[in-house]
């Protein structure tokens, strides 16, 4: 992580090294927090944050599912994101809003604890590597199952949920793979450690539905709409691991991962196919302002400098 100048913390811009919390913070001990990952891209018209309002609405919904009052509206947080981008002077960056129960009582119940709200920004390249974006990654089916919908609210992007993801991807990395794919307790495909999964078969696109305990990904939703706009039929349904093994193509999506081809699963070679690359190109063209088709998804934080 590259240090930048400022971090927005509880309504104020503070120096990077001064953005601190107490070791007794509830969120540190119990994972009682929610967060988002958002990308701002350099476009011909200036810096644009991709689907910023949608991300912040999901943050608000995540907080509500954890009985957490943020104390800021979506509009407040949107303004804070734009202010932070301007303060750090980054034409392209990753934004990390996070809210967590802070320092107060250390019982398991968070009732009465304050809520800290923070936004960080820093430059972050391809999450799974530039080579992964181009040539695809190798994934391993994890021995860790995705947590069930009645274990924890999977529609909330909660910090504590990501212990599940951390265990899965660490296991995969230690075995020499780039990423993990988790299954549900019933053996259906759920998602990656931080990405949604798509399969291409016979010219149609398939992705697990929300019953698989997946996070309702904003990039997932974006890709579904883009793929349909390109003329592809997209099915949201239960998938089994055999669907991955027999896929013509497969890819993973996420704000950090963008659209990353999945070239092999458990050493079964899938390769990188034309539909995946077409969807990837359309997604990046949209996020980088090179296409007007989905221009409403771009929220401009800075204007492009005028030509001399």
155 burial (CB, 10 Å; 0-12 / 13-18 / 19+) is middle
- Given a cut of 90, whether residue 187 has pLDDT beyond it is yes
175 burial (CB, 10 Å; 0-12 / 13-18 / 19+) is exposed
Q: Which of 161, 171, 182 is nearest to 252 (CA)?
A: 182
pLDDT at 307: 52
pLDDT mean over 204-228 = 96
DSSP sequence for 274-300: HHHHHHHHHHHHHHTT--STTGGGEEE
- Given a cut of 90, whether residue 129 has pLDDT beyond it is no
Residue 259 contacts residue 128 (beta carbons within 8 Å): no
Q: What is the pLDDT of residues 89-114, one digit of tens each?
A: 999 999 999 999 999 999 999 999 99
Spatial distance between the Cα atoms of 116 and 8, rounded to a whole number of angstroms: 11
pLDDT mean over 290-298 = 92
Spatial distance between the Cα atoms of 274 and 293, rounded to a whole number of angstroms: 21
pTM of the model: 0.95
DSSP state, 240? Answer: B
What are the residues facing 249 on neighbouring strands?
Answer: 200
And the tokens for 190? 């759920």
Spatial distance between the Cα atoms of 210 and 216, rounded to a whole number of angstroms: 7
Residues 6+ apart with CB under 8 A from 86: 301, 302
Catalytic residue among 45, 157, 201, 237: 157
Between 298 and 150, residue with greater pLDDT = 298
Catalytic residue check, 6: no
Spatial distance between the Cα atoms of 271 and 137, rounded to a whole number of angstroms: 9
pLDDT mean over 198-223 = 96
pLDDT at 308: 40
């Amino acid at each position: 992580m590259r240090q930048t100048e400022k971090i927005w913390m509880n309504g104020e811009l503070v120096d990077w090294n001064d953005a601190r919390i107490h070791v007794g913070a509830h969120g540190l001990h119990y994972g009682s927090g929610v967060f988002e990952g958002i990308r701002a891209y350099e476009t011909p018209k200036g810096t644009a944050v991709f689907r910023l309002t949608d991300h912040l609405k999901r943050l608000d919904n995540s907080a509500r599912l954890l009985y957490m009052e943020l104390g800021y509206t979506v509009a407040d947080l949107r303004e804070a994101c734009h202010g932070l981008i301007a303060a750090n002077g980054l034409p392209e960056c990753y934004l990390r809003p996070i809210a967590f129960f802070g320092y107060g009582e250390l019982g398991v119940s968070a009732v009465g604890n304050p809520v800290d709200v923070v936004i960080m920004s820093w430059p972050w390249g391809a999450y799974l590597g530039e080579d992964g974006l181009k040539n695809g990654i190798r994934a391993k089916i994890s021995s860790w199952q995705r947590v069930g919908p009645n274990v924890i609210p999977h529609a909330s992007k909660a910090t504590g949920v990501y212990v599940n993801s951390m265990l899965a991807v660490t296991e995969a990395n230690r075995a020499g793979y780039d990423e993990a794919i988790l299954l549900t307790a019933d053996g259906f495909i759920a998602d990656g450690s931080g990405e949604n999964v798509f399969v291409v078969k016979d010219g149609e696109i398939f992705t697990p539905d929300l019953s698989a305990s997946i996070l309702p990904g904003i990039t997932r939703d974006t890709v579904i709409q883009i793929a349909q706009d390109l003329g592809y039929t997209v099915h949201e349904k239960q998938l089994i691991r055999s669907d991955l093994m027999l896929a013509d193509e497969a890819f993973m999506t996420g704000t950090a991962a963008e659209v990353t081809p999945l070239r092999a699963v458990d050493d079964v070679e899938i390769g990188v196919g034309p539909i995946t690359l077409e969807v990837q190109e359309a997604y990046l063209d949209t996020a980088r302002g090179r296409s007007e088709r989905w221009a409403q998804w771009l929220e401009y934080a800075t204007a492009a400098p005028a030509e001399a």
